[in-house]
Structure 1
Amino acid sequence: MAGDKDTLLAMGFDPARVEWALKATGNRGLQPAMDHILENESKSVPKMENVSASTASAATDAMDVDEDEEDAEALHSLGGVAANAVEAKSIKCTECGKIFKNTDLANFHAEKSGHDQFEESTEEIKPLTEEEKKERLDELRAKMAEKRSRKAIEEAAEQKANEQLRRKAGKDIHKVREELQAKEAIKEAQQKKRDKLEDAKARAAVKAQIEADKKARAEKAAREKALREGLPIENVDVSNPATAVPQSGSSISGVAGKDFKETRLQIRMSTGGQPYTTSLPSDSPLSAVAEFLAAQTLTVNVDTVTFAQHFPRKSFSRTDFSKSLRELGLTPSAVLIATP
């Protein structure tokens, strides 16, 4: 029995299946064990206690058969056996014609094929010759090698499919990352364009404020000169303050006297950062600018913030917060520097 086990293991069979086959066939030889392994290769190996129980049942049946044979021999010696009595040598499946050496092998065949029609047969299963055993072993080795090769091909195909899925997932992630970067670049370019436009507007507003201040100073100088020389004020020409007199009814502040209903402001923080732009009614007080700025950032306090201008250079005191933007000469547009 140990030799049968070693032979089966040397042929490459799984040790658990070898144990199962030897116990299921009652250790009746190499051929039954190989037949059992081949017929049950697609089934999972059961627990050994179940196999032991089945083997014990088979052994009991075998003992019964031996006892029947002994009784038959006794009857034969006593002359009690009929002359036409025939001894059964095997079990035959009437559906497919296969012959089995014992009941256990017939039962395994029934479980595997679904056949249920069996009968006793007088055909004797001859043991395999050495040449037949060798051919059977070669056949089994070829079958096992084919099975391993098929399994290796399936595993390689599965690994290739998994690798393709992994690469596809990597490409998808890379594509999404590139799209996000492109969107961020477009967004950043648009923001730079807006900032550049706001800066251009702010410079234009500063230039307009400088021109307005120049004109107001020219008007004021022409007016004062006209008063000193006793000339009529309505004949003053502001384009040539040395010889002209400002028109009557003109305001001292010049631009402040024009009817601008709204004032556009750009507010920059002295600490740096993004400028804030807004449009307010020209009659709004400077405190409205402070309230707007406090709503945009938490670092600004309405009661402590101060404002100043670079062109012309001017700082606004707390008393100026109650004055309108028109009175402070901030219309039609101005740039303010805010200090929190």
Structure 2
Amino acid sequence: MSSSDVSMLVDMGFSQAKAERALQITGNKGVEPAMEWLLAHSDEAEPSPGLMAENPVSIPVPATESPQENIADASNEDESAATAKSIKCDVCGKLFKSNLEVEFHATKSGHDSFSESTEEKKPLTEEEKKEQLRLLEEKMRQKRKEREELEKKEAFEKEKLRIRSGKEMVEAKKKLEDLEMKKLLEQRKREKEEEKLAKQRVREQIEADKAARRARAASDAGRVTLSPVASIAAPTVVSTGPKKNYSETKLQIRLTNGQALTQTFGSKEQLSAVRLYIEMNRTDGSGLFNLMTTFPRKIFTEDDYEKPLDILGLVPTAVVIVQKKTELQ
């Protein structure tokens, strides 16, 4: 049995007991069959004792009457109560045949004073039954409409809440993304600045190394020119050996990823210049590395980086291989 159907019948003015009974008899098929049954069987309902107790019918007894007369009047009163055929509304004077009708009238009109009456209420005609059925159906439609409007209003409020929550979530997500993007941009900016400063330091170091090498070369050339021993010995060295002096050397540098760099250096430049060039132009990532040659195989040490390329035998051309330190250990 649906509690909503019982509640709707109670709202229409029927008692809960009668509503439950009507729904049970009609097979719980809904409010309309139960309402039709209640209207068709309104004569079967009896006035409730509670209602009669609240509205007792009292007949005053004259003071001059004898006890025998009082007994007779009481018997007459019992006979009159036994022949009560309807219930009358003391406010508007309408007659009702059943307690169900009384409850419906009290709920609808707000009247609360009723008493028994010997007047007999005529049974409802078909037209009156149809009219009451129409009024009850109209009331049921109104209740249904109010319930639907309430449900629509609740659904609308829920949808508004859902949309507002969705907007707040989207805004929070966008703020978080903007904050992450800002942090990422700042980090990239710092990395670029650091990379720029590192390259600048490398360039400055290369320029300083070049300037130092030029100064040493100029100093060495001055000493050779001013020294008479060197001037006399020079023809002897040239005439006795086939060794040639190269001012430049072309190096092919093989990186750890297989790619190669080709660069020309001065033969008097130190091996550290080659190392700085690799650090600035390598495409195989970062990390510590060593330089070596394959033929003859030689791994250059820290002391070798301060030596000129011609002293290390890297003229006029040579192949230099870059290897990570972990691969050499």
TM over 0.5: same fold? no
| Structure with max Cα Rg | 2
| TM-score interval, smaller chain | 0.3 to 0.5
> Please, what TM-score do these two structures have when normalized by structure 1?
0.43
> Please, what TM-score do these two structures have when normalized by structure 2?
0.44
